[in-house]
Amino acid sequence: MGENEYVISSDEKTSIQARCRCHPTLPPGTAGMMRVNHEYDRGGALSYLAAYDVHHAQVVGHCAAKTGIAPFMALVEKVPAVTTRLPHH
């Protein structure tokens, strides 16, 4: 490999349902257990992209509204060792 070449391993998980609880989870108290409400709001489907920095044994993740080259490049730019090698514009 050349000085400006780098290896990462990446994958994506599509159609993850983003959900937010309507009410906050209440911590356990002296008289009861932790309470978690079952109601939630739907936030649409997201994609999760992850990259494994082979050289430094580090995983970096990125959520995006959809897949494609732009979300993939956003993921690559989050890998610290790769960003130090990218040309500055």
Residue 89 lies in a domain: no
6 exposure class (CB count in 10 Å sphere: 0-12, 13-18, 19+): middle
Q: Is residue 27 part of a domain?
A: yes
The reply to whether 1 falls in a domain is no
The answer to whether the beta carbons of residues 62 and 77 sit under 8 Å apart is no
Q: pLDDT grade, residue 18 (50/70/90)?
A: confident
pLDDT tens, residue by residue, 53-77: 887 888 999 999 888 999 999 998 8
pLDDT tens-digit series, residues 29-54 = 888 899 888 888 887 888 999 999 88
Q: DSSP character for 75?
A: H
Residue 3 domain-assigned (yes or no) = no
pLDDT given for residue 19 in this prediction: 83
Residue 45 lies in domain: 8-83
* Euclidean distance between CA atoms 70 and 76, whole angstroms: 10
User: Which one has a higher pLDDT value, 56 or 81?
Assistant: 56
| pLDDT of amino acid 28 | 92
Q: What is the pTM of this model?
A: 0.59
Q: Are 51 and 7 in contact (CB under 8 A)?
A: no
pLDDT category at 87 given cuts 50, 70, 90 is low
Classify residue 60: in a domain, yes or no: yes
Q: Give a yes or no: residue 88 inside a domain.
A: no
Q: How many domains does the chain have?
A: 1
pLDDT at residue 61, rounded to an integer: 92
Residue 12 lies in a domain: yes
